[in-house]
Chains A and B, each alone.
Chain A
């Protein structure tokens, strides 16, 4: 099974070191790499760090911080794609880029520092992204003499913070990535801890798949020989040859005459399939296809919660919005509640604007567009805000308006 793991937490709490340690202990580091890094560390007059397996930009080494997200893979019981994200506030867009595909998150909290600004913000953001499986790694236990009291204090504080975002029953693991305690190997320095190591917790992850209605997004139509093939991806549910379907917002109806891939045909698709279909109607790029019995409904207004990565966003501003393969013009009709992305607390009601790194619930006015509630069909319940062709915000759909 493929499991996408994102490691989150405040700057310097040891995220890159943790991943470096995982790679090292799982013997995923290639020959000569350790020596290469030792040499590099000497050159930069620094001591050897596991983090250097990840931080590949020279600026990252010089500044001793992660600037952009990194993806690495290693094999345990599952095949893990592990994403390292930067812990600085100024790199939140890189953090979100890395976290958006994760199934599971590990929140790293340094035992000697406890909760810091990005501890809260990262937890808030991954909750918004819908990542419900979370473990907390209390790192740098070596710096607090492996004290169960310190661990307990942090556990109490972080549990309280996470509960405010709706997380409960979270696993807490006392560890030291630097020393290798409870990451890949069980530590003998904390006999008071009886829970799993990090790798044991990851190996125990189960990814559940829910049965959802068919949603197929149209990317394009190709003329191949004498046929028109509608190309796209099955975002949720499945499609069977002969199904009666409708495409919105175009509103055209048809029958799935054939499902085609290069060199063959399919009777039925799975969720995630990139396929072509042959149908009598002519949908357009951006359309969403569903069965006539469970149709996607286009809206002109919806309530979303979004986090702003670009500069100040004002009530009334016109932007472009992307959802699935569709791009539409939209307008911020109302900003309802401004939310502190560090704590999740409401800062202001009906403000005129929000600033970079703030979140808000808002009412959006759009050209006809198929969206779904994020809680129903996440693939079509999330959107990107675009200003001057740059992606500046990301959000989820909370409420549809007809």
Chain B
């Protein structure tokens, strides 16, 4: 069995476990490469049709190409798409100029929290990976959250042999991380193998490309000439630049990511 197949088999197993264990799951989709791969894995898990909603959190600050990509894939794959936003915060004009920590918390975490409350989802499938960030390397496949969305990272459940923690009484939802064990390179090799649609912003234009997609004001491209999937794969085999180096919110201060995530950030 190839390494990619091995990764895929495990992810599908996890997604199916989540669907069997929880009453009302949903999958989060940023339209980026990782969550698009995760959506594809969901389609594979259920033989084409994803039997639960797909949530896109709209901060209003996403790149135009992301909205375009979102709408075209949603139609093509027949997704039950929910666009979630924190209307109040957007009306109040919350933005990165007033602090990135607050902006991420309001426009992403709070938007998600409101959507969860309204719809009553008890599991959220998320495409985070261990190799993205030190703090994500500490995650479980099934990671419970309390009603305030808090990640009790000092007391995570025992998770052995693919026996995941089911929901406990003092927790309200569980984060499910089916591609936690994938590397960035694996995702791209998988995109290639499966011929997945991908936002063209990942490909280099005029010596720059986006390696990780987020909100327009806080996401910067990297120097790169990789203009195709093959070239990206080659680039990743040798690069020493961190994947999220273009994502401003990670870097504001040490442990910002931990604090964001403890509050329920993805």
Question: Is the C-beta of B17 less than 8 angstroms from some C-beta in chain A?
Answer: yes
Query: Which of chain A's residues has its CB closest to B167's CB?
Result: A389
Q: Known contacts A73-B131, A224-B47, A270-B1: does B19 contact A32 (CB below 8 Å)?
A: no
Q: What's the least CB distance linking A216 to chain B, in Å?
A: 12
Question: Is the C-beta of A205 less than 8 angstroms from some C-beta in chain B?
Answer: no
Q: How far is the CA of A222 from the CA of B157 in the complex (A)?
A: 29
Which residues of B lie under 8 Å from residue A219 when comparing CB positions? 13, 16-17, 20
State whether A220 touches B137 (Cβ < 8 A).
no
Q: How large is the interface on B (under 10, 10 to 19, 20 to 34, 35 or more residues)?
A: 35 or more
Q: Known contacts A72-B131, A262-B47: does B241 contact A30 (CB below 8 Å)?
A: yes
Interface of chain A residues 237 through 281 with chain B (CB within 8 A)? 260-263, 270, 272-274, 276
Which residues of B lie under 8 Å from residue A164 when comparing CB positions? none
Question: Is the C-beta of B118 less than 8 angstroms from some C-beta in chain A?
Answer: no
State whether B43 touches A262 (Cβ < 8 A).
yes
Question: Is the C-beta of A149 less than 8 angstroms from some C-beta in chain B?
Answer: no
Q: Known contacts A219-B20, A273-B9: does B137 contact A71 (CB below 8 Å)?
A: yes
Q: How far is the CA of A118 from the CA of B46 in the complex (A)?
A: 44
Q: A394 is contacted by which of B43, B47, B158, B240 (Cβ under 8 Å)? A: B158
Q: B240 is contacted by which of A31, A40, A53, A72 (Cβ under 8 Å)? A: A31
Q: B137 is contacted by which of A32, A72, A272 (Cβ under 8 Å)? A: A72
State whether B134 touches A56 (Cβ < 8 A).
yes
State whether B254 touches A43 (Cβ < 8 A).
yes
State whether B140 touches A73 (Cβ < 8 A).
no
Q: B254 is contacted by which of A33, A58, A70, A72 (Cβ under 8 Å)? A: A58
Q: Known contacts A58-B255, A71-B137, A231-B16: does B160 contact A96 (CB below 8 Å)?
A: yes
State whether A2 touches B6 (Cβ < 8 A).
yes
Q: Known contacts A260-B47, A272-B1, A390-B165: does B138 contact A220 (CB below 8 Å)?
A: no
With most chain B CB atoms within 10 A of its CB, the pick from A33, A81, A219 is A219
Interface of chain A residues 345 through 391 with chain B (CB within 8 A)? 379, 382, 384, 386, 388-391
Which residues of B lie under 8 Å from residue A392 when comparing CB positions? 158
State whether B242 touches A33 (Cβ < 8 A).
yes
Question: Is the C-beta of B163 less than 8 angstroms from some C-beta in chain A?
Answer: yes
State whether B137 touches A233 (Cβ < 8 A).
no
Question: Is the C-beta of A69 less than 8 angstroms from some C-beta in chain B?
Answer: yes
State whether B169 touches A388 (Cβ < 8 A).
yes
Q: How far is the CA of A392 from the CA of B19 in the complex (A)?
A: 23
Q: B160 is contacted by which of A73, A97, A231 (Cβ under 8 Å)? A: A97
Question: Is the C-beta of B235 less than 8 angstroms from some C-beta in chain A?
Answer: no
Q: How far is the CA of A220 from the CA of B13 in the complex (A)?
A: 11
Q: A285 is contacted by which of B20, B51, B165 (Cβ under 8 Å)? A: B20
State whether B47 touches A97 (Cβ < 8 A).
no
Q: Known contacts A57-B138, A57-B153, A222-B46: does B165 contact A391 (CB below 8 Å)?
A: yes
Q: How far is the CA of A36 from the CA of B242 in the complex (A)?
A: 12
Which residues of A lie under 8 Å from residue B241 when comparing CB positions? 30-31
Interface of chain A residues 16 through 61 with chain B (CB within 8 A)? 27, 29-33, 36, 39-40, 43, 53-54, 56-59
Which residues of B lie under 8 Å from residue A232 when comparing CB positions? 16
Question: Is the C-beta of B224 less than 8 angstroms from some C-beta in chain A?
Answer: no
Q: A56 is contacted by which of B8, B17, B43, B258 (Cβ under 8 Å)? A: B258
Q: What's the least CB distance linking A294 to chain B, in Å?
A: 22
Q: How far is the CA of A88 from the CA of B157 in the complex (A)?
A: 16
State whether B258 touches A391 (Cβ < 8 A).
no
Which residues of A lie under 8 Å from residue B247 when comparing CB positions? none
With most chain A CB atoms within 10 A of its CB, the pick from B1, B20, B161 is B161
Q: How far is the CA of A309 from the CA of B165 in the complex (A)?
A: 14
Chain B window 38-64, contacts with chain A (Cβ cutoff 8 Å), 1 for yes, 0 for no: 000001111111010000000000000
Question: Is the C-beta of A67 less than 8 angstroms from some C-beta in chain B?
Answer: yes
State whether A70 touches B161 (Cβ < 8 A).
no
Query: Which of chain A's residues has its CB closest to B244's CB?
Result: A30
Which residues of B lie under 8 Å from residue A72 when comparing CB positions? 130-131, 137
Query: Which of chain B's residues has its CB closest to A69's CB?
Result: B138
Q: How far is the CA of A270 from the CA of B159 in the complex (A)?
A: 25
Which residues of A lie under 8 Å from residue B12 when comparing CB positions? 274
State whether B49 touches A70 (Cβ < 8 A).
no
Q: B181 is contacted by which of A30, A56, A81 (Cβ under 8 Å)? A: A81
Which residues of A lie under 8 Å from residue B44 when comparing CB positions? 261-263
Q: How far is the CA of A391 from the CA of B161 in the complex (A)?
A: 12
Chain B window 160-202, contacts with chain A (Cβ cutoff 8 Å), 1 for yes, 0 for no: 1101011111000000000001010000000000000000000
Query: Which of chain B's residues has its CB closest to A384's CB?
Result: B163
Query: Which of chain B's residues has its CB closest to A394's CB?
Result: B160
Q: A384 is contacted by which of B16, B160, B245 (Cβ under 8 Å)? A: B160
Q: A220 is contacted by which of B19, B167, B240 (Cβ under 8 Å)? A: B19
Q: How far is the CA of A23 from the CA of B163 in the complex (A)?
A: 29
Closest 8 CB pairs of A and B: A56-B134, A100-B160, A30-B242, A274-B12, A391-B158, A262-B44, A384-B163, A93-B158
A-contacting residues of B (Cβ < 8 Å)? 1, 3, 6, 8-10, 12-13, 16-17, 19-20, 43-49, 51, 130-131, 133-135, 137-138, 140, 153-154, 156-161, 163, 165-169, 181, 183, 240-242, 245, 254-255, 258
12 CB contacts below 8 A, A to B, read A31-B241, A56-B134, A94-B156, A100-B159, A100-B160, A224-B48, A232-B16, A274-B8, A274-B16, A389-B167, A390-B165, A391-B158
Q: A30-B240, A57-B258, A71-B137 are in contact. List 4 more A-B contacts (CB 8 A).
A: A2-B3, A57-B135, A273-B9, A382-B160
